[in-house]
Amino acid sequence: MKVSKRQELMKIVDLNESLVVLGGGLNALVVAIELLKAGKRVTMIEAGRSDCKAASSSEYRAFKKNFSSPKFGLKDRSFTYAGYINRTKVKAVNFKVIGSLATGGLSNLWGGDIRDYDDDDLKDFPYSKSEVASIEEDILNLMTNYNPDGEKVVAKEVVYNFHRAGIDGRCAELIEQWGNSSENIGFDLPKLAILVNDKDDRKRCDHSDACLVKCPNGSIFNAAYEIEKLRENPNFVHLTGVLIEDVSKSRMGYTLSARNMIDGK
- Residues 100 and 118 grouped into a single domain: no
Residue 145 is predicted with a pLDDT of 83
- Is pLDDT at 21 greater than 90 in this prediction? yes
Q: What pLDDT digit, counting tens, does each position of 105-130 carry?
A: 998 888 877 777 788 888 898 888 88
- Residues 197 and 76 grouped into a single domain: no
CATH number for the domain spanning 49: value is: 3.50.50
- Residues 3 and 76 grouped into a single domain: yes
Indicate the pLDDT class of residue 167, thresholds 50, 70 and 90: low
Cα distances (angstroms) measured from residue 225 to each of 113, 205, 260: 16, 16, 24
- Residues 162 and 235 grouped into a single domain: no
- Residues 139 and 262 grouped into a single domain: no
The range of the structural domain enclosing residue 261 comes to: 1-110+222-265
Residue 6 is predicted with a pLDDT of 44
Between residues 6 and 51, the one the model is more confident about: 51
Model confidence, pTM: 0.78
Indicate the pLDDT class of residue 179, thresholds 50, 70 and 90: low
Q: What pLDDT digit, counting tens, does each position of 131-140 carry?
A: 888 788 788 8
- Residues 199 and 123 grouped into a single domain: yes
State how many domains the chain has: 2
Q: What pLDDT digit, counting tens, does each position of 185-222 carry?
A: 666 655 778 888 899 999 988 877 777 777 888 888 89
